[in-house]
Amino acid sequence: MKRTIVIAGLGLIGGSLAKGMAVSDENHIIGYDVSNETLDYALANKIIHEPATDFTKAAQQADFIILAAPISETIRLMEKLNTITLGKNTIVSDVSSVKSSIIEAANKFTNDNITFIGGHPMSGSHKKGVQAAKAHLFENAIYVLTPAINSTPAKIDLLKDVLQHTKSKFIVLNSDEHDEMTGVVSHFPHLIASSLVHQARKWEETHAYLPNLAAGGFRDITRIASSNPKLWQDIFFHNGNKMSKLLEEWITEMRYLKNLVDKKDKEDMISYLDMAKCYRDGLGTEEKGVIPSFYDIYVDIRDQTGALASVTQILANENISINNIQILEIREGITGALRLSLASKDTQKESYNLLKNHGYEIMIQR
Ligand SMILES: NC(=O)C1=CN([C@@H]2O[C@H](COP(=O)(O)OP(=O)(O)OC[C@H]3O[C@@H](n4cnc5c(N)ncnc54)[C@H](O)[C@@H]3O)[C@@H](O)[C@H]2O)C=CC1
Ligand SMILES: O=C(O)C(=O)Cc1ccc(O)cc1
């Protein structure tokens, strides 16, 4: 029998989940969104099977509901759901980047037909909206589940089954742990990236040539400052306490760093940088907490037509799929460094050897 899944909020994340689910004959996907344009696009592009403009009617048909609107709107939808007469037990999940305020709202449910299990796929992009939706967005990503008090392991398994097409790695955490860890490795870096951009912007007022000198390092570290400001405001608002604590810690760290620079002790500075390098280099090699492993290789390619295609073809010939690909702009116009992210240590090694045998200059970053 088909299961009916309602996805409320068909933007980048809801649209991507719907797109992956809609291809299965097991699923009937009903999409709900406040934007009619989004609903029309989702239907026309087979991202959903049926559009809904009435949340209550859609929810009453659902076996599963996934709330994928901005966090504050998701909480409003949860409050609404609590008032709806549901004819059967319905598993409700969400995708919000912050979990404590969601679980707090879930633990207030008085509607016995709702089982709530929070969700957060740890993958996204700087884009927004249904047009940016991709079925494979969550492949190999960590997908955090944060059960509310009325959930059970059997219900968690049912939800995992509905989400298995994502090819994510599921992990169950409590909401506070989740917000603390994502606060450190996802949310806080966005604040710092934006602040670095502000610093450069202010310096440009007196040094007009400055943007031309913004090389690979600045671009790498500030890439995430180009993300959707409304979404990130919502994240900083809901994870505000953790952000405030991390900012205090950061200010102390920056004072320490200023002292290190001022005292001009070469050994101490090397040791500070070395400790950071060792930790950073180790991040990708083992699976640690919610940080996914990544296996990158760097390939030096000439800035010429077809260079990228040749590299990817060599790997494709051996059925090696590339998780991510990026052209680094360190040496713009002269040669290009290509960063390829592979799925495992073995494919990383195999790709390294293959490309080396074809004469490419390769580096593996550990
Ligand atoms: N963008 C990212 O990289 C990631 C975002 N998330 C979480 O996913 C959620 C959605 O983010 P995105 O998909 O990026 O945003 P988006 O801006 O691409 O999409 C949001 C969608 O929700 C709709 N919407 C707004 N209010 C609504 C309401 N009351 N009822 C129904 N639909 C409504 C909008 O019309 C839009 O289609 C957020 O809670 C965010 O924290 C989670 C992981 C990654
Ligand atoms: O890693 C990041 O910060 C991203 O750029 C993608 C992202 C954004 C929001 C999330 O809640 C999870 C992942």
CA distance 74 to 80: 10
Residues 97 and 114 reside in one and the same domain: yes
Residues 127 and 228 reside in one and the same domain: no
Confidence of residue 361 (pLDDT cuts 50, 70, 90): confident
CA distance 298 to 365: 8
Task: Give 74-84 pLDDT, tens digit per residue.
Answer: 999 999 999 99
In a domain, 289, yes or no: no
Measured in angstroms, how far is the CA atom of residue 258 from the centroid of ligand 1? 39
Domain end marker among 251, 283, 315: 283
Residue type, 102: I
Residues 32 and 164 reside in one and the same domain: yes
Residues 306 and 242 reside in one and the same domain: no
Ligand 2, atom nearest to 123 Cα: 13
Residues 253 and 326 reside in one and the same domain: no
Ligand 1 in reach of 38 Cβ (< 6 A): yes
Residue nearest to atom 16 of ligand 1 (CA): 11
In this predicted structure, the answer to whether residue 320 has a pLDDT above a threshold of 80 is yes
In this structure, what CATH number is given to the domain that contains residue 28? 3.40.50.720
CA distance 58 to 215: 50
Task: Give 219-241 pLDDT, tens digit per residue.
Answer: 989 999 999 999 999 999 999 99
CA distance 31 to 53: 9
Measured in angstroms, how far is the CA atom of residue 69 from the centroid of ligand 1? 4
Which amino acids bring their CB within 6 angstroms of ligand 2?
A: 97, 122-124, 186, 224
Task: Give 39-92 pLDDT, tens digit per residue.
Answer: 999 999 999 999 999 999 999 999 999 999 999 999 999 999 999 999 999 999
Ligand 2, atom nearest to 186 Cα: 3
In a domain, 290, yes or no: no
Instruction: Please tell me the number of the ligand nearest to residue 101's CA.
Output: 1
Task: Give 263-298 pLDDT, tens digit per residue.
Answer: 999 999 999 999 999 999 888 654 434 444 568 888
pLDDT at 303: 60
Mean pLDDT of the chain: 92
In this structure, what CATH number is given to the domain that contains residue 342? 3.30.2130.10
Residues 96 and 210 reside in one and the same domain: no
In a domain, 288, yes or no: no
Give the count of domains, the chain. 3
Determine if the pTM surpasses 0.95: no
Residues 144 and 16 reside in one and the same domain: yes
Confidence of residue 346 (pLDDT cuts 50, 70, 90): confident
State the distance between the two ends of the chain, measured CA to CA, in whole angstroms. Answer: 48
Residues 48 and 193 reside in one and the same domain: no
Whether 109 and 45 have beta carbons less than 8 Å apart is answered as: no
Instruction: Find the farthest-apart pair of alpha carbons in the chain and give their distance in angstroms, rounded.
Output: 71
Q: Do the interacting molecules here have an ipTM over 0.95?
A: yes
Helices 240-263 and 188-204, packing angle to 10 deg:
50
pLDDT at 330: 47
Q: What domain range is 131 assigned to?
A: 3-172
In a domain, 322, yes or no: yes
In a domain, 45, yes or no: yes
CA distance 199 to 212: 15
Domain end marker among 228, 252, 283: 283
